[in-house]
Structure 1
């Protein structure tokens, strides 16, 4: 019986490790990591480390750009963009208002979460849109006064399993 007990313990540890990583929380905010936010400012310095003494590696220059927070340290958040480029940004430059990046050229916005409904508009590749409700496979987005539903898998800045009311 000892080998079975050992296997059960090993399986329990694997399940625990998977659950623990799925529920990782920020040490400062206690919010889930990773999580999506957007750039509040028109420009945001991206630093090599979490302080003003660290070198600025580049500057994000797109208000509302969706970013993914991967770590927290004091007033600093380690973020990355859609291309995986990132660094440390001061939390005051970030907003909890969610935006997404359109990843398909001429992406149709449907009247409802159903591809057989009328198309309200089409969004170009790279457009930043405000994120609204999301079901398992569809999200409602707003951009330049146009509103509609689009398949979730054509967006960056929302998790595949994420449901938003």
Structure 2
């Protein structure tokens, strides 16, 4: 009877040990944005790991690829990957202008709409709804519509 209890306890412990890894990665990947003035990306999921990047771009969009406790494996717009504390991230959607030349920001979500202004690649802003290839984009309070292909942080992560 003791051997049976030991086997059952071992089987239960193994099942429980396997569950958090699966549960941790539920809901990933997803979009997030940096929610701090200064955020460190590390080479591993812990404060003892070396810092690989220091971000000073609030609202910079990132893709969360994996979770491990309070740490998130992220990918930035340049494709660099590393670990960041969950407290430095927000689920608020953001985007960064990409591509060559200035992106045209329109009053309505269509190419023939009134041109509001042009935005250079690298500008970060908050992302609103996206539909039919256009996204609402708020760059420091200046709101308009941008072509989705000119923004990194749109679509499925």
TM-score normalised per structure 1: 0.76
Taking the TM superposition and a 5 Å limit, the aligned residue runs for 1:58-77 are 58-77=53-72
Which of 57, 65, 75 pairs up with 1:80? 75
8 Å Cα contact 2:33-2:91 kept in structure 1:
yes
Question: Do structure 1's residue 39 and structure 2's residue 30 form an aligned pair?
Answer: no
Which structure has the larger Rg over C-alpha atoms?
A: 2
Paired residues, what number?
A: 135
Partner of 2:45 in structure 1? 50
Q: Which runs of 5+ in 2 are unaligned?
A: 1-21
Which of 135, 144, 149 pairs up with 1:148? 144
8 Å Cα contact 1:120-1:146 kept in structure 2:
no
Distance in 1 separating the partners of 2:102 and 2:123 = 10
Distance in 2 separating the partners of 1:61 and 1:123 = 20
Q: Which has the higher contact order (CA 8 A, sep 6+)?
A: 2
Q: Which runs of 5+ in 1 are unaligned?
A: 1-25
SS in 2 for 1:42: coil
Partner of 1:127 in structure 2? 123
How far did 1:29 drift?
6.9
Partner of 1:103 in structure 2? 98
8 Å Cα contact 1:79-1:88 kept in structure 2:
yes
How far did 1:30 drift?
3.2
Q: Any runs of at least 4 consecutive aligned residues in structure 1 with deviations exceeding 3 A, and if so which?
A: none
Aligned-residue RMSD, C-alpha: 1.7
SS in 2 for 1:27: helix
Distance in 2 separating the partners of 1:46 and 1:155 = 22
Distance in 1 separating the partners of 2:68 and 2:151 = 28
